[in-house]
Amino acid sequence: MKRVLITGASSGIGFQLAKDYAQDGWDVIACGRNVANLESLSGIYSNIQVLSFDATDKANTAETLNDVGDLDVIILNAGTCEYINHGRIDVDLFKRVFDINLFGLLNCIEALQDNFSERTHLALMGSTASYLGLPRAEAYGASKAAVAIWLSHWLWILSQRACLFL
């Protein structure tokens, strides 16, 4: 049976993706911070396994994802958006958004990269906000732009090493 790991599965797009993959017969590893929401998924679908962790915590992410085994698809969807009020810069807000949208994603990749194979498909959640400024979403857009730029460099490096398994 095919296996998919989805971060950010406790709400929104990730929650729906977990349901869709489960309904299609995949073994789903649904990851997120909200245990109650994750368990509501596993209560309905016997092919959903729940992993609760905070992707911003590098050690906890590595420990939690250490034994997931072979995966066919990895969907790194965890993210957040916080809004800036009246154009006032709030560095702490930027740090929180970057911590999950960029560094949380990288924590997951670092923890999972030894499981990548020729058949692994890696999907990263992007946003049009990475190239189109949206009102009050400056931190979100900047974090998604950082992911897009990092990914373009990483893919180039992997292609030069002939290990592009994505």
**Segment 98-145, tens digit of pLDDT:** 999 999 999 999 999 998 888 899 999 999 888 888 889 999 999 999
Q: pLDDT-derived band of residue 166, with 50, 70 and 90 as boundaries?
A: very low
| Cβ pair 147, 128 in contact under 8 A | no
Q: What is the pLDDT of residue 133?
A: 85
Give how far Cα 25 sits from Cα of 17, 21, 31, Å: 12, 7, 18
Instruction: Pick the catalytic residue from 21, 45, 83, 140.
Output: 140
Is residue 161 pLDDT above 80, yes or no?
Answer: no
In order of start, what are the domains of the chain with their CATH numbers?
A: 3-160 (3.40.50.720)
Those residues with Cβ within 8 angstroms of residue 141's Cβ, 6 or more apart along the chain or in another chain:
127, 129, 130, 132, 133, 134
| Cβ pair 74, 122 in contact under 8 A | yes
Give how far Cα 8 sits from Cα of 30, 144, 146, 153, Å: 8, 15, 19, 24
Q: What is the pLDDT of residue 162?
A: 54
Tokens found for residue 13: 């797009």
What is the pTM assigned to this prediction?
0.93
21 is catalytic: no
